[in-house]
Structure 1
Amino acid sequence: MLWEYPSRFEDYGAVRIYDVVRVLEIDAVGYRGGPRGVVWLDTHEMEEVAYRTGIVIPAKNEDLLTLENVIAAVPHASTIILVSASDREPADAYAGELELVKAIHAASGRSIIAFHQRDPAWGEALRGTPLEALLDEEGLVRKGKGEGMILGVIAAAALGLDYVGFIDSDNYVPGAAHEYALAYYTGFSLIPNNHVMVRVKWPFKTKLQTGGIYLRRRGRVSQHTNAVLNYALSLERRIETEVISTANSGEHAMDVKTALSMEWAGGFAVESYQLVYLLEKCWLGLQQGECPLSPPSIKIFQVETRNPHIHAERGSDHIADMVAVSMGTIYYSRLSRPEVKSRIREVLESYNYHGEPPRPRVYPPPGSVDPSKVFTAFVASSKDAAVLGG
């Protein structure tokens, strides 16, 4: 993969955020170097990074063909970590996912970990630990994307991987999922063995409709979260900025040390909360020793890929709630001055959402537990988890 070289950036304490760079070539096989201003990995380097990376795929009642295509798109060297929140009743959708990954492993030999987010064995493994907060009144891990991603981080750390990336399972274009993985590897190579995050900005989010397709440049939620977060940074720094373009990036990746060090939000708040948390702790709280990273610095790369992002349209009824949840991560943070809170309420009122947004549910860092001990305990008592290869 060939990137533009990320040279323009803004520093917020120990957080360096780079402007969006474009993918110049998805496949740079045959490239031998040329003009400056590009980033690339040769095949050997790409393979080395891929082996050190786990790709977490959160799944929820996805068509098996779509899920299979996403798994097939991830380079063989990376371990797949399938975290399912699919229905178990009246039909057991997870059973189909489990059969699928076993068939993939049998045919290809690739390493795959698969488990259900609501497996009672997680409750047993997490009870009595700082991450017991993940459990609901039934003693099961709460439903929510963020909660599933935390379990994926624990699994990646337990496997001894250095990097962890996330790719949504509802992607209709295998080429897009493949490109995301290559973008992660390339970004990791820029800051080897240090704190790094790669966040994907898709070029178009495609809506399938009667009579053709519509290529939508801005996401219905991300356009608001990006704008409000940039507004908050502008007020705080007293310099106008538009540096944030990936506040709601579902496709993102980071080194495992960073993933273990951060607090995580539950549900849909997880994506925007990552940026808010780092800016709070490693910028506003840096001088007070609040940044959990060691050394206390992180580089955040934003990369615009080439493949359009096509997924199932969920309708517009839930958009107001999604906007509110995302806005809540900013609203209740130290980044939110009165002007920011007012701007957020204006956005919500445009969706006929009245009142304050919900406060995000926040969990302790995954590193507050011993990932290897917790994951080993989970696998030992689980009847439904699969550890294939590795």
Structure 2
Amino acid sequence: MLSLPAKFEVFGAVRIYDVSRVLSLDGRPKSRPTNLVYVDRGELEDAAFRTVIVVPVKDEDLLTLENVLRSIPTESPVVVVSASTREPVDRFSNEVELARLISRSLQRDIAIVYQFDPAWSEALSGTPLESMVGASGRVRKGKGEGMLLGFIVAAALGADFVGYVDSDNYVPGSALEYSWIYYSALSRATSSYSMVRIVWPYKGKLAASDMYLRKRGRVSTITNGVLNYTLSIHKKIETDIIKTGNSGEQALTVKLGMEMSWGSGFAVETYQLVWMLENCYLGLQAGKCPIAPDYIEVRQVSPLNPHIHAERGDEHIAEMTAVSLGTIFHSSLASEEVKSRILDQLKSLGLGEEPPKPSTYRPAGTDPKKVFASFIAESSDSYYFAV
């Protein structure tokens, strides 16, 4: 059961809803409530069959990855996109064996693909996504690239919805809860172009010292503040509606994912919102919004489980902050006032340079089934374990 959002705000053809909260993981009211979102088991199961869950992984502890994969409802096919190292130990081969074991023991469909498999070069050649392949002949490094490859595979498998769960999640129950949130929110969406983004109730990192649960991550706090400040200037009304500027745990309809552009690397989560607002808010009257006269629906949901993951260090935080703010800085959303605030924010973090501009990729016009079939035919590393 989810609470109803208290409000939503409209930016052109984009509706952004305030945070809904999970009220009960297994609530069964005596009568169907009208003051909250209640999705019964039958509806959850139907939505699960229509949803493919993508798990990006890079050199994660195998037990942590296993617990995440075992927590995802078995009705949903899983796509693991690996960017793990293969020397001096082939970590990807261990992930393949794990996928094989889980597919057999749970009788579930799992595809596992290697982000840097040379077969992607041939599969993406001649498509709108061929710029994802670098001079090395392999897909470029980056989380955004991995998420987009996972999306293409999920679409090829016939998904209506694609959800993402990070592989570094130390609380298996949260992966299950995220999946239920995706099913609930997207099955009840009022637009074919919809997205749900997770607002972590608490985010903790496992370190040598005692664990401390933050309400918001350090990067998210900064990104949310700059995005809301930017929208406040455009609308001339102060807003704090965006709470998910760096939400890696998210799900979206395939229709939306095929139309929007995707940012490279760590820019991917912030750029999704930037693209929507650039094209379907500021660019609406200029005919840049490809989904008009329909609209984009963005839901933000807070689960009960905290998000606990490994400590990545200050350098990682600084990189993520610069890349996230770069998506705003280099967009048509950013006035001189916004750019000045971004530069001041980066200086306060010891990052005095102009933030990087992300590469972007738009899958519109790509045939996911053709791409995946070509990839599987050429690949000697990646597998689809179907039951």
C-alpha distance in 2 between matches for 1:56 and 1:300: 19
Q: Of the candidates 176, 179, 183, which is equivalent to residue 174 of structure 2?
A: 176
1:328 maps to 326
C-alpha distance in 2 between matches for 1:199 and 1:314: 22
2:16 maps to 17
Map Cα deviations across residues 39-63 of structure 1 (whole Å, 9 max, x no partner).
Answer: 0111111000000000000000011
C-alpha distance in 2 between matches for 1:31 and 1:119: 49
Q: TM-score, normalised by structure 2?
A: 0.97
Range with bigger deviation, 257-266 or 123-132 = 123-132
C-alpha distance in 1 between matches for 2:118 and 2:344: 42
Seq. identity, %: 53
1:134 maps to 132
1:294-309 equivalent positions in 2, closer than 5 A: 295-309=293-307
What secondary structure does 1:20 align onto?
Answer: strand
2:112 maps to 114
Q: Which amino acid aligns with 1:213?
A: M
Deviation at residue 262 of structure 1 after TM alignment: 0.7
C-alpha distance in 2 between matches for 1:246 and 1:40: 23
Q: Of the candidates 321, 329, 354, which is equivalent to residue 356 of structure 1?
A: 354
RMSD over aligned Cα atoms:
1.3
1:277 maps to 275
1:266 maps to 264
C-alpha distance in 1 between matches for 2:31 and 2:330: 47
Deviation at residue 34 of structure 1 after TM alignment: 5.1
2:226 maps to 228
1:247 maps to 245
Map Cα deviations across residues 54-107 of structure 1 (whole Å, 9 max, x no partner).
Answer: 000000001111001001111111010000000011110000000000001111
Distance 1:124 1:215, change over 3 A: same
C-alpha distance in 2 between matches for 1:104 and 1:50: 18
> Does the Cα contact within 8 Å between 2:203 and 2:215 map onto a contact in 1?
yes
Q: Which amino acid aligns with 1:139?
A: G
2:54 maps to 56
Q: Of the candidates 341, 366, 379, which is equivalent to residue 363 of structure 2?
A: 366
> Does the Cα contact within 8 Å between 1:153 and 1:366 map onto a contact in 2?
no
Q: Which amino acid aligns with 2:371?
A: V
Q: TM-score, normalised by structure 1?
A: 0.97
> Does the Cα contact within 8 Å between 2:191 and 2:297 map onto a contact in 1?
no
Map Cα deviations across residues 121-142 of structure 1 (whole Å, 9 max, x no partner).
Answer: 1111112222110011111000
C-alpha distance in 2 between matches for 1:128 and 1:32: 56
C-alpha distance in 1 between matches for 2:381 and 2:220: 36
What secondary structure does 1:214 align onto?
Answer: coil
Q: Which amino acid aligns with 2:386?
A: G
Q: Of the candidates 359, 384, 387, which is equivalent to residue 381 of structure 2?
A: 384
Deviation at residue 192 of structure 1 after TM alignment: 5.6
1:145 maps to 143
Structure 2 regions of 5+ residues with no counterpart? Answer: none
What secondary structure does 2:300 align onto?
Answer: strand
Aligned pair count reads 387
Deviation at residue 264 of structure 1 after TM alignment: 0.6
> Does the Cα contact within 8 Å between 2:15 and 2:296 map onto a contact in 1?
yes
> Does the Cα contact within 8 Å between 1:55 and 1:164 map onto a contact in 2?
yes
> Does the Cα contact within 8 Å between 2:55 and 2:167 map onto a contact in 1?
yes
What secondary structure does 1:199 align onto?
Answer: strand
C-alpha distance in 1 between matches for 2:304 and 2:47: 21
What secondary structure does 2:73 align onto?
Answer: coil
C-alpha distance in 2 between matches for 1:201 and 1:279: 20
C-alpha distance in 2 between matches for 1:34 and 1:378: 46
1:5 maps to 4
1:153-232 equivalent positions in 2, closer than 5 A: 153-191=151-189, 194-210=192-208, 212-232=210-230
Deviation at residue 317 of structure 1 after TM alignment: 2.0
Deviation at residue 144 of structure 1 after TM alignment: 0.4
Deviation at residue 322 of structure 1 after TM alignment: 1.2
What secondary structure does 1:357 align onto?
Answer: coil
Deviation at residue 7 of structure 1 after TM alignment: 4.4
> Does the Cα contact within 8 Å between 1:269 and 1:329 map onto a contact in 2?
yes
Structure 1 regions of 5+ residues with no counterpart? Answer: none
